[in-house]
Chains A and B, each alone.
Chain A
Amino acid sequence: MSKTTQAPKALRGVGNYIDDRFHLAKTGEKNLRKVFPNHWSFMLGEIALYSFIILLVTGVFLTLWFKPSMMEIVYDGSYERLQGVPMSEAFASTLYIDFDVRGGFLMRQIHHWAALIFVAALVIHMLRVFFTGAFRKPREINWLIGVAIFALAMVEGLFGYSLPDDLPSGMGVRILQGVMLAIPLVGTYISMFLFGGEFPGEDIITRLYVLHVLLIPALLLGLIVAHFMILWHQKHTQYPGVGKTDRTVVGTPMFPAFAVKAGGFFFFTFAVIAGLSAFVQINPVHLFGPFTPTSITSGLQPDWYMGFMEGSLRIFPNWLDFTIPIGPGYPIMVAVLVPGLVIPGLIFGGLALWPFIEQWITGDKRARNVADRPRNAPVRTGVGVAGVVFYGVLWLAGSNDILSETFSIDLYLTTYIFRVLAIAGPILGFVIAKRICLGLQRRDRETLEHGYESGTIQQLPSGEFIEVHKESSSETVEVLSSKKDPSSTVLQEEDVDSSGVENPDARKGMGKLRRALAHWYTKDNVTVRDVEPHSGHHLHHTHDHTSQEGPEEDEDGH
């Protein structure tokens, strides 16, 4: 290590040139010193960001040849097997990218794979943020931006999937149009305006193209930049550990270490996507053939992120459909409207509202920079698992024909099973996840109190065998004892004040609801506040601390 801290002359020149114009030395150093906490789960958002960059780059490449036109032509291109087949120019130009442009097939596959991974990384990143409570103040707005990115990414993906105008892609558009038509009163108008007339018309691909390559990417880019700037400004959350508090962040500095790690990770992400594109074919449109509104193949599957919509369209029965008996009669297609509008509304609306619901329940108005361990917020974790199970059941239901065939189950039976699971699954998921959380809390308390099981067996003079418990590391003790008990300000308010007057809030509907929810949110908990961390060689079996347990009763008592 040399002692030279003077930058080389050329670098100084550039630095001075920029600083003379932008006054950046101080800001620059501050940002290069920015600290990023270390944890594998913080890479999920990075995967999404890098996939998005890959999408932009490969997308630009594809636009150089793709013709977003529905003009019908008879194919006369390089791919022999479809010569003489009528198709749209969009499909023909997609074949051109595949069979005339060298590397075109690869870029198309990379674009498609990157899209799948983009949305997947978004979802998993979002689950990480949810389960660790990283959406809490001051990050609620960034959470909302994230929800918007998720919703836009889905639409963007659906539109992109529709562009090549191959058979499955056109059928996706058809289903979209069918859902639109079900909208009461204005459905036919929306469809006519979007498609420039009846389905399929001659405009839809051109219009989806503009939305796909210009409008939505611009919105996404803007939101992603905002997401990132807010993250940069507020700094990352971190998991509990020694020295990590709501006021101090500990981790790797941007320069030099994080920049290199993140750069390397970008290349890893790209390598994985390129490798999948090279060896795992996902969109062989030349095998599917061009779209016609009259043909279909069985076993059609949308891209994974549309699977939950497909599944809910499949399993929602028509029993609730009815007709408004006015004039000729107007139908309300509940079986289309609920899967097409209500369920996505519930999922995205629920995601968007949760931070505010939770804040309303807990009354927690403090800035939280240390993330929760999921087990320490059992109700939130339970709710999250219920949501995941609901989404997962609908997603699986989107493949019920394939499941039916693979496992030789009656097709209609799979529908009934999924109908039951869509209701029972989330409830079970909530209960089980919450139980597991409480079990883990108990183990944490155990570890904190008695240290860890060393595996050393000792015989006491009395002849009894015991396993020696050893002291946990300071890191472990810090993590375990940092647990905060779930609490709610509303439960701390007295229902009846000192002069015997009832708190009016406690009697009103919303106040009552809030108290009930607060009770539900906080009632099950294994506290560690009263625990003295282990400092010596306890004889585990001689202690009985049931009486020291937290406010709730302890089912399996120790």
Chain B
Amino acid sequence: MTENNNNDKNEAGDDKPERVVGTPSSSAEERVVSEQPAENESAHAGPFEPFETHLRSEEQMRRGDKMASAWFIIATLAGIAFIASYFVFPPNSSGEPMIADPQIAQYSNMLLGGTLTLAMFGIGAGMTVWARNVMPHYEVHSPYDELPSNEEEKGSFSEFFMKGADESGFTKRPLMRRTLLASMIPLGIAPVVLLRDLGPLPREKMHHTPWENGRRMYVEGTHRALRAEDLENDPNGMISALPAIDDERYPHGISMNDQAKSVILLIKVPEGDWKEGMNQPVSEDSDETHMNWTYNGIVAYSKICTHVGCPAALYERTTHRILCPCHQSTFDAADAAKVVFGPAHRGLPQLPIGVDDEGYLISTGDFNEPPGPTFWEYQGGSGS
């Protein structure tokens, strides 16, 4: 398919015309039948006109034949090797697969893939050699079809169609036509109705999380309840935590949905580093300030970015900045987690925290705003 690409680059004109004598002149609009016979015309038995068929030399065809056959033999051997390499890694006597070892899995992958590649390449190369050395090179001329039908055909069609439509009564009897169309409407809506049970209505689900007054917290990925000292002893520390729930239905003890909305970052901020924003109320109609919701220099924010929901897991201790690695929204942990850079619409929601009688960190309520990606009704719920 590439051999005749002299169409696009024509800066140098010294290349000899590739075709043999008798090709159409440059002004040919239609197929031009040459007056000069092609070299091989006397012997020509191919399916296309001699001037469109550029035969290979006998020598070239012989070489091509051998070369293509060599490739096909390589492909055959590689194909056999592919099948063989499937059986090189059998399961052991107790049925455990040998490829369970990642290293062996990789060898298996390379061996299978390598032999498959060679088999495919061999066939491709053989066929290409066949087409380029054994088969003639064709430059066949063929007309583009005139696409628009002629006026007579169009007129006939249109007349036939309209007569049929009239006779059927569809055009003449509007009552029937309109009632038929009307009957389609409910059926068209029906599939949409049927999809109603795809999911529940949002209502206030996204406004509430398992955090409530007195709920202890686990270090994420463990069942170890956090105590205030865990952070107090580590100035600038940061711990990712989940509500302490042990529901046996879930391997994690807590459902994925609850994890997704209630994961928090607990951050210890040194006394002097707090900024002005901490003295503002946590929400418009609240007397509590962000500072009131901290405990002993520890502040808790939702870990889920308010942009599109990635965990904002990167914390820079010296600047107290929380960075979401997905789209780089940046929040200032010392300033009520306000957005300081990036695409997020609002700061991270804050969770009110305290300690219980035994010194365990607890939440004292739910977030001040719904956690997670910002959505249309986020300010609407009865919320916290």
Contacts and interface: CB of A to CB of B under 8 A. Distances in A.
B124 interface: yes
Contact of A473 (B14, B46, B137): B14
A274 interface: yes
Nearest to A3: B45
Contacts of B28: 242-243, 245, 248
A553 to B, nearest CB: 25
Contacts of A476: 10-11, 13
B200 A279 contact: no
Contact of A327 (B327, B346, B380): B380
Interface string A358-382: 0000000001010001000000000
Given A278-B112, A327-B380, A318 B342 contact: yes
A335 interface: yes
A415 B313 contact: no
A289 to B, nearest CB: 12
Contact of B376 (A249, A299, A330): A330
Nearest to B110: A278
Interface stretch (A16-24, A71-79, A428-436, A486-494): A71-79
Contact of A318 (B7, B205, B339): B339
A13 interface: no
A540 interface: no
Interface stretch (A182-190, A218-226, A523-531): A182-190
Contact of A193 (B118, B199, B260): B199
A177 B117 contact: no
Given A175-B308, A412-B341, A188 B377 contact: yes
Contacts of A277: 109, 113
Interface string B300-320: 000110011111011000000
B125 to A, nearest CB: 7
Contacts of A316: 343
A143 interface: no
Interface in B318-362: 325-328, 339, 341-346
Interface string B244-270: 000000111000110111010000000
B80 interface: no
B121 A336 contact: no
Q: Is the interface of B mostly helix, strand, loop or mixed?
A: loop
B326 to A, nearest CB: 7
A274 B120 contact: yes
A271 interface: yes
B108 A452 contact: no
B343 to A, nearest CB: 4
Interface string A235-257: 10011111101111111110111
A235 B145 contact: yes
Interface residues of B, number: 118
B32 interface: yes
A3 B314 CA distance: 79
B1 interface: yes
A275 interface: yes
A267 B120 contact: yes
A181 B375 contact: yes
Nearest to A173: B309
20 contacts: A78-B97, A86-B250, A109-B113, A181-B375, A192-B201, A192-B202, A197-B199, A235-B142, A247-B143, A248-B29, A253-B48, A278-B109, A294-B240, A294-B303, A295-B313, A318-B343, A329-B379, A401-B325, A443-B11, A447-B13
Interface of B: 1-8, 10-17, 23-26, 28-32, 43, 45-48, 86, 89, 96-97, 99-100, 102, 105, 108-110, 112-114, 116-118, 120-121, 123-128, 130-131, 135-145, 147, 195, 198-202, 205-206, 220, 240, 242, 250-252, 256-257, 259-261, 263, 303-304, 307-311, 313-314, 325-328, 339, 341-346, 372-380
Q: Which 10 residue pairs across A and B have the least CB separation, nearest first?
A: A278-B113, A178-B308, A472-B13, A264-B127, A86-B251, A267-B124, A78-B100, A293-B260, A178-B373, A239-B7
Given A178-B307, A265-B1, 14 more contacts: A42-B1, A73-B251, A80-B100, A86-B252, A177-B309, A178-B308, A191-B375, A198-B260, A252-B140, A260-B127, A271-B117, A278-B109, A454-B14, A477-B26
